[in-house]
Amino acid sequence: MRDITESRVSSLDDLCGQLAHDVDAAFPSLVKALQHDLYSGLRRLQPADAEDLTQEVFIRAYRALKEYDPNRIRELRLRTWMWTIALNLGRNRARDRARRPVPVPLEDRHGSSDPETPDNQAWDRRLAALPHPQRRAVVLRHVAGLSNSEIAEALGRPEGTVKADIHRGLQRLRTIMEGE
């Protein structure tokens, strides 16, 4: 597992160099490298908005990268930076949604691009039972694959707090699963 993570970090570091040289040419590689992780994590955190948020993350990232100095781009920790954008957008979306009434859908969505399997539905239900800080930490660690330090940086929280949230979240998930 460590070799995969190290090679992934190395390839993202290489991607920073490519982005610094030519954002337009390298951006599709950024999308390819992080799209699945971002979407998977956002789907666990905000299922109704995951597709829109994932697209918006890449739009915001592209606009920012076009404005950044190449030296700043080379210094980015891409996964952490992208997750920071994603979490901020998700937080803003949740806040905006809380301010206005949500229309009730007239019918179920059929033909979704990400069909819900019973297993995914069960995990979504289990994760939804966790307090928000624990859910975010568990999803970022075990779905998105971020390190504890990356999660702490993305959330703006101490690493010890993140570790505690992950530990407590996993304990609660075990308890939930034992009760099923």
Using pLDDT thresholds of 50, 70 and 90, give the confidence band for residue 100.
low
Q: Is the pTM of this model over 0.75?
A: no
| Domain membership flag for residue 94 | yes
Residues 86 and 150 in one domain: no
Using pLDDT thresholds of 50, 70 and 90, give the confidence band for residue 73.
very high
| Domain membership flag for residue 170 | yes
Long-range contact list for 142-149, CB < 8 A, 24+ apart?
Answer: 143/37, 143/40, 143/41, 143/44, 144/37, 144/38, 144/40, 144/41, 144/79, 144/83, 145/5, 145/37, 146/79, 146/80, 146/83
CATH number of the domain enclosing 133: 1.10.10.10
| Domain membership flag for residue 107 | no
Using pLDDT thresholds of 50, 70 and 90, give the confidence band for residue 93.
confident
Residues 95 and 122 in one domain: no
| Domain range enclosing 126 | 118-180
Residues 79 and 6 in one domain: yes
Q: How many domains does the chain have?
A: 2
| Domain membership flag for residue 108 | no
Residues 7 and 52 in one domain: yes
Using pLDDT thresholds of 50, 70 and 90, give the confidence band for residue 98.
low
Residues 137 and 74 in one domain: no
| Domain membership flag for residue 110 | no
Number of Cβ within 10 Å of residue 56's Cβ equals 17
- Residues 31-47: pLDDT tens digits? 999 999 999 999 988 88
| Domain membership flag for residue 145 | yes
Using pLDDT thresholds of 50, 70 and 90, give the confidence band for residue 116.
low
Residues 147 and 74 in one domain: no
What does pLDDT average to over the chain?
84
- Looking at 74, 102, 130, the residue that finishes a domain is 102
For 4, the token pair is: 């995969």
| Domain membership flag for residue 97 | yes
